[in-house]
Amino acid sequence: MSRHETVDPATCAAWIRDRGPVVALTGAGVSTAAGIPDFRGPQGLYVTRRYDPERVFELAAFLDDPLPFFDFSRDFLQVLDEVEPTATHRFLAELERQGRLTAVVTQNIDALHQQAGSHRVLEVHGSYWTSTCLGCGATFSVEQLRQKILSSEVARCQCGGVVKPDVVFFGEPVRALDEAASVIRDAGLLLVLGSSLTVYPAAWLPDECRGTVVAVNQGEVGLRRGPERYVVDADLDEFFTSVGRELGLPNS
């Protein structure tokens, strides 16, 4: 079976300059590079803390007993306290600031893109960035949620309702999928970063791109072969630091 063609940082930089607008689709690899273990990996929270994902992120189980989810969340937010956005997160935020990148579509729930300075972030699996009371519909920031789960076993609103982070649980539809498909359809260049493209429905989003697709990941990528489809097997931060240097971006 033939392999995908690949590109070097200088070529990727030239395409960012000339083939925009740029959209990024990011997966778990962007977050693991920040130091967040893959939930299901050998050092993931499911394994090291012995959490059952069917109890933690299954909607019916949460509505029956939210405590396992909040036990997990206390550990997860502690992990977030210990990590910072990576060079790749900051690279994408700088591209947006310069008007080259129109959106980040992410499968991650850690809000590191927002922390890096990205503004238009389409979170198809939701995130901890905001939370909603299941009783009255009041909304809360991640800091307000943090205070609640550190002060009580289950986060509750003043009305008494349970506060649920806006994370997509098993049993809930993904979010912003139509908007994500639309911005990718209009992209001249789609950067697929840190995703093996095996989790659906996000895995089919690159098929919507009518321009150039460059997937950068360490390991296999399920990108459909065809014209203007390229795969780079490389460390994300190293590759995009080089791309940023070619573009003359600050701190590259």
Span 24-46, pLDDT tens digits: 999 989 988 888 876 544 445 44
The CATH number of domain 39-82+128-167 is 3.40.50.300: no
46 contacts 53 by C-beta, under 8 angstroms: yes
pTM summary value: 0.89
Asked if residue 49 has pLDDT above 60, the reply is: no
Q: Domain ranges in the chain?
A: 1-36+85-125+173-252, 39-82+128-167
Mean pLDDT score, 16-23: 95
The single residue of 4, 89, 113, 125 carrying the catalytic annotation is 125
CB count, 10 Å around CB of 228? 15
What is the share, in percent, of the chain residues with pLDDT greater than 90?
68
The fold of the 1-36+85-125+173-252 domain, in CATH, is: Rossmann fold (3.40.50)
Farthest-apart Cα atoms in the chain, separation: 59
Mean pLDDT along residues 158-186: 94
Instruction: Count other Cβ atoms within 10 Å, centred on residue 142.
Output: 20
The question of whether 125 is a catalytic residue gets the answer yes
Q: Is the omega angle on the peptide bond into residue 21 within 30 degrees of 0, that is, cis?
A: yes
79 burial type by CB count under 10 A (0-12 exposed, 13-18 middle, 19+ buried): middle
d(CA 95, CA 46): 34
User: What's the token pair of residue 38?
Assistant: 């893959």
Helix (H) or strand (E) holding 250: none
Question: For 85-97, how does the pLDDT look when each residue is reduced to its tens digit (9 = 90+)?
Answer: 999 999 999 999 9
